[in-house]
Amino acid sequence: MKKLLIVISSGLMLMLTGCIKNDIATYTNQTIEWDAAAWNANTSPFTYPMMTRVPIFGFATGTSAPSLTRASGTIRLRVNLVGAQAATDRTFAYQFSQSESTAAPGTHFEAVSGKGSIAANSSYGYVDLKILNPGPSVGTATIVLQLVNNESFKASVNYAKIGLSVAQN
């Protein structure tokens, strides 16, 4: 009786288990995003984070990161590729948003080129932003950068903008 019960139990276990077909999902889009926008929360009332500290790659920026000030010099912002890497270098496009910024190119920061590149077989590109020191004043100067679509990449819907609030005192 025990052998029959074991055989029936084993048979039921085999019949009630099976394989589930796993479809392999292939992401074919080539999207880019600001790394800091993906890791840090949006700042009200904006739809993007307004950074007051130098962003840290691959992590939320904490209070241990240096503050953004007029003496920060050149800061490096990372752009993430969401999609397959390519065997060749590719360029991405970004722009300074004058309507959302209080900073002036040439006064608070060096004018941006609007182009960056992601090296072959890489998932990251970088934008170097040189903060200028116009001398002490009151308040902050905000710089808003936005990734834009080009022939190589589409800008992420949620992480295409990043704001930098640079203390002027």
Give me the amino acid identity at 137. Answer: S
Q: End-to-end alpha-carbon separation of the chain, Å?
A: 88
What letter does residue 80 receive in the DSSP assignment?
Answer: E
Report how far residue 63's alpha carbon sits from residue 41's, in angstroms, rounded to the nearest whole number. Answer: 14
Residue 29's pLDDT is 78
Report how far residue 75's alpha carbon sits from residue 81's, in angstroms, rounded to the nearest whole number. Answer: 20
> Where on the phi/psi map is residue 161: left (φ > 0), alpha (ψ -120 to 50), or beta?
beta
Report how far residue 100's alpha carbon sits from residue 145's, in angstroms, rounded to the nearest whole number. Answer: 9
Contact indicator for 163, 49 with CB cutoff of 8 Å: yes
Written as tens digits, the pLDDT of the chain (169 aa) is 788 888 888 777 777 776 677 777 776 778 999 999 999 999 999 999 999 999 999 999 999 999 999 999 999 999 999 999 999 999 999 999 999 999 999 999 999 999 999 999 999 999 999 999 988 888 999 999 999 999 989 999 999 999 999 999 8
Contact indicator for 79, 116 with CB cutoff of 8 Å: yes
pTM: 0.81
Query: Between β-strands 154-155 and 31-34, what pairing exists: parallel, antiparallel or unpaired?
Result: parallel
Contacts of 115 (CB under 8 A, 6+ apart): 91, 92, 93, 94
What letter does residue 169 receive in the DSSP assignment?
Answer: -
Residue 18's pLDDT is 65
Residue 27's pLDDT is 67
